[in-house]
């Protein structure tokens, strides 16, 4: 029987049909309202952004790694807030920086 670092059976955490294990970080997220649809850091530097992401822990909005600044990742590195979502309408895409994958 394989165990993860917390002693949980790996098969208990695995997703259906061989999918990656569920990200526990999404179960711990509060309900947040996103900030203004702009990257304040990029605005301060006179830059534009490719895509905006919202931190699902605090609602902070910043540019994605596809942008020159990568300020969303910088926010994660400063705060350890693990999950972001895109501000694009009708999208359910979310990214966990800890697991380095979509969740």
Residue 92, token pair as written in the block: 């359910």
Q: Has residue 55 been placed in a domain?
A: yes
Burial class, 51, CB count within 10 angstroms (exposed 0-12 / middle 13-18 / buried 19+) = middle
Provide the residue range defining the domain that includes 52: 30-102
Q: Where are the alpha helices (DSSP H) in the chain?
A: 10-13, 40-45, 71-79
pLDDT exceeds 90 at position 75:
yes
Tally: H helices and E strands in the chain: 3, 5
Task: Tell me the pTM.
Answer: 0.78
8-60 residue pLDDT tens: 444 444 455 556 667 888 888 999 999 999 999 999 999 999 999 999 999 99
Q: Has residue 24 been placed in a domain?
A: no
Residue 60, token pair as written in the block: 């902070």
What total number of domains does the chain contain?
1
Position 73 scores a pLDDT of 96
Q: Has residue 1 been placed in a domain?
A: no
Residue 46's CATH number: 3.30.40.10
Q: Has residue 7 been placed in a domain?
A: no
Q: Are 12 and 21 in contact (CB under 8 A)?
A: no
């Amino acid at each position: 029987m394989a165990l993860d670092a917390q002693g949980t059976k790996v098969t208990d955490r695995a997703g259906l049909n061989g999918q990656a294990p569920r990200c526990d970080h999404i179960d711990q997220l509060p309900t947040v309202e996103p900030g203004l649809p702009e990257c304040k850091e990029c605005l301060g530097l006179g830059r534009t952004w490719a895509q905006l992401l919202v931190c699902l822990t605090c609602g902070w909005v910043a540019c994605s790694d596809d942008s020159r600044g990568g300020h969303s990742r910088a926010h994660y590195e400063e705060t350890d807030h693990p999950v972001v979502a895109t501000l694009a309408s009708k999208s359910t895409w979310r990214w966990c920086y800890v697991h380095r994958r979509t969740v």
